[in-house]
Amino acid sequence: MRSQLLAGFIGLAVLCLVVVACGPTAEPSVPVDLATQKAASAPGSIKVVVIGKSVAPYWSNVEKGVDAAGQDLGVETVFFSPSKEDVAAQIQTMETYIAQRVTGIAIAPSDPQALEPVMRKAAEAGIFVITLDTPPVEDSISLVYIGTDNLAAGEIAGKTMARLLAGSGKVGIGRGSDTALNALQRTEGFIAGIAGTDIEVLEPVNDKEDPAIALQLANSIIAAHPDLGGAFGIYAYNGPIWATAIKEADAVGRIQLVCFDATSDIINGVKEGVIDATVAQREYDMGYKSVQIIKLMAQEGVEAALAEMGAQDGVIDTGVDVITPATLESYEATLDRKGIPHDWSTAGWEPPSR
């Protein structure tokens, strides 16, 4: 009897061990399979969110591209930009749309390192995550970057400045971030573009995407360096800010201004003759292509979408155009031919004589 009771106890203990061993356990973290990732949203419903950096004419052009793609492709789209560069706001917006389990999110990360964890969280939730305008960190979860090759574009700006200054002079640089990769690469490319010349580049100033601060900094540089020969604006608003400072200092023609983008205020600066050249990104295309590729990813898979959109090494380079008073009319003709909207015109305008 005693041996039977002991055997019963042993059997019960073994059974308990089996139940514990087979009970629920914490699920291990599973790497995201980018090639086979499926959308989190319901089949047939595609919703794409595009997150910009700030409220500015440049981002209005991105939004136009997003809206046009939504209408053309039958996709629900949302565009959001914080009032000025705000990493916390971008993270919170990501969290909001992760909770809604949208199909895809395209983001221009103000601080790629800080945004990477929440981008990874979105991907792990089955959301297609891509970047536009600003490249992500190395080995990012981002499926593709859509935007400018900023090193190459910065080098084009540098070579343009070198020609304007005939190889010598002092140049000030204004930018909106010391962490965003696009700002850093454009600066690096610009310096490479003037290599071998006698051009001196001043330490770049960071206005944190605040136009009021940007104007103060531009005015300070011009006042502190009476021999300033050139100015370089990294972000879309920097060019018009420099233009205002140059006009206030009565230095039009003396300070050569090269900037980025082709917003209406920049084009007006080119028409006036205060902006000598601008490297125009194709931000409308960035917005449009972001929606387009996320739709393709949801319908055809990641690899098929990347191949169809012509991605090379995880990048879709949207290219740039160099606009000067001499090339403005041909640039407008190109926009019209592609059907890209713009709220300015060269009708009745003649290039400045200087």
Percent of the chain with pLDDT over 70: 87
pLDDT value for 341:
85
Determine contact, residues 76/70, Cβ cutoff 8 Å: yes
Question: pTM of the full predicted structure?
Answer: 0.76
The answer to whether position 243 is within a domain reads: yes
Per mean pLDDT, which range of 18-32, 169-183, 205-219 is the poorest? Answer: 18-32
Q: State how many domains the chain has.
A: 2
Q: Kindly indicate the confidence band of residue 23, based on its pLDDT and cuts at 50, 70 and 90.
A: very low
105 backbone dihedrals φ, ψ, rounded to 5°: -130, 130
Give the model confidence (pLDDT) of 74-109 as tens digits.
999 999 999 988 999 999 999 999 999 999 999 999
Per-residue pLDDT of 259-313, as tens digits, reads 999 999 999 999 999 999 999 999 999 999 999 999 999 999 999 999 999 999 9
Tokens of 344: 């300015």
pLDDT at res. 37? 58
157, 137: one domain? no
Q: Which amino acid is at 302?
A: V
Tell which wins on pLDDT, 295 or 351: 295
Neighbour count for residue 238 (Cβ, 10 Å): 29
Specify whether the CB–CB gap between 261 and 293 falls below 8 A.
no
Q: Are residues 325 and 266 in the same domain?
A: yes
Domain membership of residue 97 as a residue range: 47-148+284-317
Average pLDDT over residues 191-205: 98
What per-residue confidence (pLDDT) applies to 180?
87
Q: Is residue 197 part of a domain?
A: yes
Q: Kindly state whether residues 188 and 330 are assigned to the same domain.
A: yes
Q: Are residues 250 and 133 in the same domain?
A: no
List the CATH number of the domain containing 304: 3.40.50.2300
Indicate if 277 and 155 belong to the same structural domain: yes
Distances (CA, A) of 172 to 61, 206, 226: 27, 12, 12
Cα–Cα distance between 109 and 119 in angstroms, integer? 10
Q: What pLDDT, in 10s, does the model give residues 137-147?
A: 999 999 999 99
- Are both 104 and 253 inside the same structural domain? no
Query: Is the domain of 187 the same as that of 250?
Result: yes
Nearest by Cα to 97 from 79, 75, 83: 79
Residues 257, 121 within the same domain: no
Whether residues 304 and 330 fall in one domain: no
Would you say 314 and 93 are in contact if contact means Cβ atoms under 8 Å apart?
Answer: no
For the stretch 42-66, pLDDT in tens is: 556 899 999 999 998 889 989 999 9
pLDDT for res 54? 92
Claim to verify: residue 140 and residue 254 sit in the same structural domain: no
d(CA 274, CA 259): 11
Whether residue 274 is contained in a domain is answered as: yes
